[in-house]
A and B are shown apart, each in its own frame.
Chain A
């Protein structure tokens, strides 16, 4: 005990200096702990409003590949097969917890509850299981019943240098007591006054309480309730020019000094208290029924700066503040000594801005004092606040019910049946967080006021309460509910004989989606207030998994599946913040997938090889963004989206000795758009008539109006390496364990701008005749088409070819990770585990994990090129620099 206390004390001292990984009570759980890490930690710094970049991480223990890729590749935000998180399901005690509006599981709801969520089963989309019809991205079932906790107490202390710096968790479990009761609880706290990224902080408490009562031999009732109230400040992506000016790939434009203290404009508040009541009924030895009812009331919000139409954009990295906005630095005809000597004023301004950016840290951050000053001056002059901080709320109330029946008829035949019901009310609104020194603000859309006049109907955000004066805490801008109801029935039959296995599974799912507007928006007065009416979808699908085992340690698997899935509520409305209209072409998404794999063991050498192909058709995707070009909040919806994912996965392990093994894991895949989807554009500040004009694509020959499209054919999916390989070594002896992995990542692409690839934004070219090669001749070269994109028409006005604009592929690179740990058995059943993980040891600060193109094009409406080249200024995220995680667990 004394030894343990001494070690903990030493670790606490080190915690203040050191920096991340996970508890490991023994070598055997090391992998699981790390997988747990990727689940609950790396995803927490994602903005739920933006596309979550980490998804579909499986930790299937039966799959050599999937069991490791999750944690191995997590620094690069790896997505298995590049699937979106919405294609992966998470269950707890038999209840589906995925968000019905977004489709995804919110990892924030179980943040800091590692001990409570440790017991889980993860399966790929083509692995038989007992709890779900797993979608193409797989599924995870967490068992968090009180009896699933290890009996006793555990104190875990951690220190790291990531989004939080310190963590403490205490867990206690009574185990199953003689009276049939079991209780367990865990409480944790994660903290960073300032995380590894400047201007970010982390403040999260978590709790998990579980009680279970065994009733007789066959029944058990379990109640769990948990939540993780979290407040965390966010980082944002920046352009390479901005990173260069700040001399860091970890620059964060979200913060600035206020009264000498750092203040972040984008702060997430997240609390999703959840309760699940579960009835386990062991009908007999072979039949089990698990029924759960759950309730969740989630409160998720994120703050952001807002400003009136006349106020200058307060973001420090707004493009007009950048040196490269002065002249086109990408044009060799301008960025050369002769041109600049002829135009010295350009270089003067360029240098002035460089000097401004580099002379003071405060100059490249948000100027809070300036916003306060302007608001106060504005009010002194009789006006109102021009700058403010708003809080965008996405709350939810969810009732759900799940029931699963498993029957093992004998060792050969098994089946499962299940039901999942869910009713979700999503509450979306924004409130005035801070008037930044002001006291008055009128609830009108400032951009619409500029377009239609301050006194116009269009300027009103709520015609039922026109010109409402609001103050801090009041709702404004938009307020609506989204109701989603889902009912799913599924079944699975499993046949398993000595050499053959066959699993057949199917499901049906009904979904309704409805918007209920609580404000009458001036831009859509007739279709914003009240209910939209329900859109209903009946989907379903099935799959077959065939296993062949020619010998004891060899298994071939061939699997195929088809699914028709309802669109997500978040993509279903043209402009959900404003009006009730559903998007066009809203229908079931068709998902076809197939997989062939071979798993083997030859003595000490084991491995798995897989090939997969998936195709998604009729998809609907929506992006919502602040459109710098139009200075408006913009919705852009793509429908009839087709994508394909295919590739190879491999994992090999060679056990050199009982203590030493070498592992090689990798994937090489592709995930891309394979058509030019329909596009629907909507500006929040514009009325229906004006919006209609936006969605026009005129044939350059006939003048006929054609459906607007996004020229996306050939665009790669972003935010994940499509190629990754890891060479690792594991060594463990006498309670010590070491591991080191050298990882290589490649084929990471930037997130593409649909706006820049709209068919009425991208170049349209009409053939001028027949070229010398006998083909149609166009006034643009192939190289230019490949770079800038274009739509080619024949002289009759028919589209003969399309080229999407070039999508940036990031440079590949290596990262070296290692960990060392020691498990110490103490007296009286106590134990101490220490683990130090070192990530990115070579301090590679140039690995881009993701990013996105800016939603503007390079030309004025006059056709003249802008000084600032948006197409050359993508925004990037970089993998963390060298970082460490020290974790100490004391079990008693």
Chain B
């Protein structure tokens, strides 16, 4: 019997190493991880400014789009992304060409909810527009692909993220201190000027100083009970300088840190993505886009 128990013991002992954990995989090296093209998509042969000029008939409409059939390769720097949570499927590409004297930006819509790791602020990006669509969504110049909204309307939406592998290339490493990441400061005169209210001036990263009209010390930017069909809330930024005044809509989606931020009652500088529908509108990237009190 002793031998029998010895046999059982040895069988069990032999079996134990076999049952070592199988769910064990080494951590990956992600230094070279990208979702964009690993090889060059070609030389830049076009610009955002050219695009806006060439397709002006599109950009003057409210909702329109057109497919690009040629290899038009533009370049821009990520000036706004979704890191702060208030922009959705959106990065703002801005291109300052000092030689040409242009400073233009356009929204690149990409169908994914967390783009900032792939497209950090200050990252230079090339986009081959071939097979993508350009146009505008509620007057906002945009690159993407059409879709039907939850209201059943055909609109220019975000492009499939899978297309980044063929149509988008990262250039160099991100530099958040680059000129493209510095917002333009807009004053009341500029905002009031009718001549400025055109697609050549938006989208753009801008800073506007003013006070929130609805601020009472308790009200937050975007309570859910006020949200509209676009899951956002519009507030009013009053901009005054001397006797001149105007207002800018501050649009905030309801599910992010900005939404739950109490609107400051004092004057602040607000930085965000500028657009125009029937009035100027700014969409903050995140809570860091609200400055300390300003004079």
Which chain A residues have a beta carbon within 8 Å of chain B's beta carbons?
A: 153, 168, 170, 172, 174, 177, 183, 185, 187-189, 191, 193, 201, 203-205, 207, 229, 231, 233, 258-259, 261, 263-264, 267, 303, 309-312, 320, 326-327, 343-346, 348-349, 352-353, 356, 368-370, 372-374, 376-378, 381, 386, 437, 450-456, 860-862, 864, 866-867
Query: In the complex, which residues of chain B have a beta carbon less than 8 angstroms from the beta carbon of A320?
Result: 111
B100 within 8 A of A: no
Q: Residue A231 contacts which of B4, B15, B22, B145 (CB distance < 8 angstroms)?
A: B22
Contact A352 B120 (CB under 8 A): no
- Specify the chain A residue showing the minimal Cβ separation from B224: A451
Shortest CB distance A183–B (Å):
8
B242 within 8 A of A: no
B256 within 8 A of A: yes
Q: Residue A312 contacts which of B20, B83, B112, B229 (CB distance < 8 angstroms)?
A: B112
Q: Residue A453 contacts which of B5, B30, B260 (CB distance < 8 angstroms)?
A: B260
Q: Residue B133 contacts which of A233, A345, A374 (CB distance < 8 angstroms)?
A: A345
- Specify the chain A residue showing the minimal Cβ separation from B163: A352
Task: Tell me the complex Cα distance, A866–B147, Å.
Answer: 11
Task: Tell me the complex Cα distance, A200–B127, Å.
Answer: 40
Contact with A along B191-233 (1 / 0, CB 8 A): 0000000000000000000000000000010001000010000
Query: In the complex, which residues of chain B have a beta carbon less than 8 angstroms from the beta carbon of A183?
Result: 1, 5
- Specify the chain B residue showing the minimal Cβ separation from A230: B19
A369-B30, A864-B152 known; A189-B19 Cβ under 8 A: yes
A352-B163, A437-B30, A456-B260 known; A187-B15 Cβ under 8 A: yes
Shortest CB distance B244–A (Å):
36
Contact B255 A450 (CB under 8 A): yes
Task: Tell me the complex Cα distance, A860–B231, Å.
Answer: 13
Task: Tell me the complex Cα distance, A188–B18, Å.
Answer: 11
Task: Tell me the complex Cα distance, A349–B145, Å.
Answer: 8
Query: In the complex, which residues of chain A have a beta carbon less than 8 angstroms from the beta carbon of B67?
Result: 344-345
Query: In the complex, which residues of chain B have a beta carbon less than 8 angstroms from the beta carbon of A263?
Result: 23, 25
- Specify the chain A residue showing the minimal Cβ separation from B161: A312
Residues 12-35 of B at the A interface (beta carbon under 8 Å): 12, 15-16, 18-23, 25-28, 30, 33, 35
B76 within 8 A of A: no
Contact B18 A369 (CB under 8 A): no
Shortest CB distance A269–B (Å):
8
Contact A378 B145 (CB under 8 A): no
Task: Tell me the complex Cα distance, A756–B162, Å.
Answer: 31
Task: Tell me the complex Cα distance, A345–B158, Å.
Answer: 12
Q: 17 A-B residue contacts at CB 8 Å?
A: A172-B7, A189-B15, A203-B21, A231-B22, A261-B26, A327-B148, A343-B146, A372-B30, A373-B117, A374-B114, A374-B117, A381-B116, A437-B27, A450-B255, A452-B260, A864-B150, A864-B151
Contact A369 B33 (CB under 8 A): yes
B290 within 8 A of A: no
Contact B23 A356 (CB under 8 A): no
- Specify the chain B residue showing the minimal Cβ separation from A368: B28
Contact B255 A203 (CB under 8 A): no
B237 within 8 A of A: no
A174-B1, A864-B150 known; A233-B23 Cβ under 8 A: yes
Task: Tell me the complex Cα distance, A209–B28, Å.
Answer: 43
B238 within 8 A of A: no
Query: In the complex, which residues of chain A have a beta carbon less than 8 angstroms from the beta carbon of B25?
Result: 258-259, 261, 263, 368
Q: Residue B146 contacts which of A229, A345, A867 (CB distance < 8 angstroms)?
A: A345
Contact B15 A205 (CB under 8 A): yes
Task: Tell me the complex Cα distance, A153–B3, Å.
Answer: 12
Q: Residue B19 contacts which of A174, A229, A455 (CB distance < 8 angstroms)?
A: A229
Task: Tell me the complex Cα distance, A345–B117, Å.
Answer: 28
Q: Residue A348 contacts which of B12, B131, B256 (CB distance < 8 angstroms)?
A: B131
Contact A207 B12 (CB under 8 A): yes
Query: In the complex, which residues of chain A have a beta carbon less than 8 angstroms from the beta carbon of B151?
Result: 860, 862, 864
- Given A261-B26, A310-B113, 12 additional A-B pairs, CB 8 A: A174-B4, A203-B18, A205-B18, A231-B23, A259-B25, A310-B256, A320-B111, A349-B145, A352-B160, A377-B116, A437-B30, A867-B148
Shortest CB distance A343–B (Å):
8
A174-B1, A320-B111, A373-B33 known; A381-B8 Cβ under 8 A: no
Interface of A is mostly: mixed
Query: In the complex, which residues of chain A have a beta carbon less than 8 angstroms from the beta carbon of B152?
Result: 862, 864
Shortest CB distance A506–B (Å):
44
Query: In the complex, which residues of chain B have a beta carbon less than 8 angstroms from the beta carbon of A353?
Result: 160, 162
Query: In the complex, which residues of chain A have a beta carbon less than 8 angstroms from the beta carbon of B83?
Result: 381
Query: In the complex, which residues of chain B have a beta carbon less than 8 angstroms from the beta carbon of A344?
Result: 67
Q: Residue A862 contacts which of B15, B229, B256 (CB distance < 8 angstroms)?
A: B229
Contact B18 A189 (CB under 8 A): yes
B11 within 8 A of A: yes
Contact with A along B137-155 (1 / 0, CB 8 A): 0000000011110111010
Contact with A along B152-194 (1 / 0, CB 8 A): 1010000010110000000000000000000000000000000
Contact B27 A203 (CB under 8 A): no
Shortest CB distance B55–A (Å):
17
Q: Residue B8 contacts which of A187, A376, A377 (CB distance < 8 angstroms)?
A: A187
Task: Tell me the complex Cα distance, A15–B58, Å.
Answer: 68
Query: In the complex, which residues of chain A have a beta carbon less than 8 angstroms from the beta carbon of B120?
Result: 377, 381
Task: Tell me the complex Cα distance, A356–B120, Å.
Answer: 25
Contact B27 A372 (CB under 8 A): yes
Query: In the complex, which residues of chain B have a beta carbon less than 8 angstroms from the beta carbon of A188?
Result: 15
Query: In the complex, which residues of chain A have a beta carbon less than 8 angstroms from the beta carbon of B148?
Result: 327, 867
Q: Residue A376 contacts which of B30, B82, B162 (CB distance < 8 angstroms)?
A: B30
- Specify the chain B residue showing the minimal Cβ separation from A194: B22
A264-B23, A267-B23, A310-B114 known; A455-B260 Cβ under 8 A: yes
Task: Tell me the complex Cα distance, A153–B11, Å.
Answer: 13
Query: In the complex, which residues of chain B have a beta carbon less than 8 angstroms from the beta carbon of A203?
Result: 18-22
A170-B8, A187-B8, A353-B160 known; A312-B28 Cβ under 8 A: no
Contact A172 B8 (CB under 8 A): yes
Shortest CB distance B13–A (Å):
10
- Specify the chain A residue showing the minimal Cβ separation from B146: A345
Contact A193 B30 (CB under 8 A): no
Query: In the complex, which residues of chain A have a beta carbon less than 8 angstroms from the beta carbon of B160?
Result: 349, 352-353
Task: Tell me the complex Cα distance, A311–B257, Å.
Answer: 15
Contact A352 B162 (CB under 8 A): yes
Task: Tell me the complex Cα distance, A174–B1, Å.
Answer: 8
Shortest CB distance B160–A (Å):
6
Q: Residue B114 contacts which of A153, A303, A311 (CB distance < 8 angstroms)?
A: A311
B125 within 8 A of A: no
Query: In the complex, which residues of chain A have a beta carbon less than 8 angstroms from the beta carbon of B163?
Result: 352
